[in-house]
Structure 1
Amino acid sequence: MPRMRPNFTKSPYFVDEPGNWHLKPGAPKELQIELKNYLKSLEDDYQPGTINGVHIDYPFER
């Protein structure tokens, strides 16, 4: 299932450089916070048995 495209990527302030996503100067604070939170979420460790950090119970764990 494809992931939804984050809203900040549709902004004219967004710069989509491979490996260097950033916002142009003058971007609204809300957009800056959204990008910061998204980039931080990419650093979260995914544990086995999870999908995007949501734990999925296996039958043998019950």
Structure 2
Amino acid sequence: MARINKISEACSGLQGFFIFHSFGGGTGSGFTALLMERLSCEYAKKSKLEFAVYPSPT
């Protein structure tokens, strides 16, 4: 969160966040949930758009 806070403080007009993550889970699968929770607490009034990328069946 320290890096996100530092980068967001450097922005003159932060409007929100885009978050891309894998829907399949795996290593770090709980990271996105924790990140979204922290962003919601610290940046409650900012937009947060979350995109899940599904693995291909082939």
Question: Of the two, which has the highest radius of gyration?
Answer: 1
More strand by share: 2
TM over 0.5, yes or no? no
**TM-score scaled by structure 2?**
0.32
* Higher relative contact order, chain-length normalized (CA < 8 Å, sep 6+): 2
